[in-house]
Amino acid sequence: MNNMIEVFVKGIAVDEDNNHIVLLSDREETKVLPIVIGPIEAMAILMNMQGVAPNRPLTHNLLKNLLDLLGAEVEQVIITNIKDNVYYANLYVRHDKYNYEVDSRPSDAIALAVAYNAPIYMDMKLTEFTVNPSDLNVERQ
């Protein structure tokens, strides 16, 4: 994990164009990686952060329920890359003695990581896309 930085969800924000953004911060809170996500994914991440269960399972709840039923769990998430302004992530799932790496949208992977209290990492090369927290011009939710 030498080329990885552990991050946590600092919050969900909405910018002036009404885009929902998940803010991933390093532990020292000196760098923030803002990733634009959909409003449903933003809601799922917020609900998981607050421990709120929806009346009916959302897609992320359904996936967690299935993983739990099968005896699997999310071990970690890694935000791996950005290409053409699209971020990529891998979800790492453990089942028995097997480990699986699953390609995922960062928003889905982050929602599951929060639900499992699993660590989130970003590849060191993504630090060039981070911003200083004081430079953010967003409204936090």
Ranges under pLDDT 50 in the chain:
none
* CATH architecture, domain defined by 4-132: Roll (3.10)
Q: Cα(102)–Cα(50) distance, rounded to whole angstroms?
A: 26
Q: Which two tokens stand for residue 123?
A: 């590849």
Contacts of 20 (CB under 8 A, 6+ apart): 12, 13, 14, 36, 37, 38, 39, 41, 42
pTM: 0.90
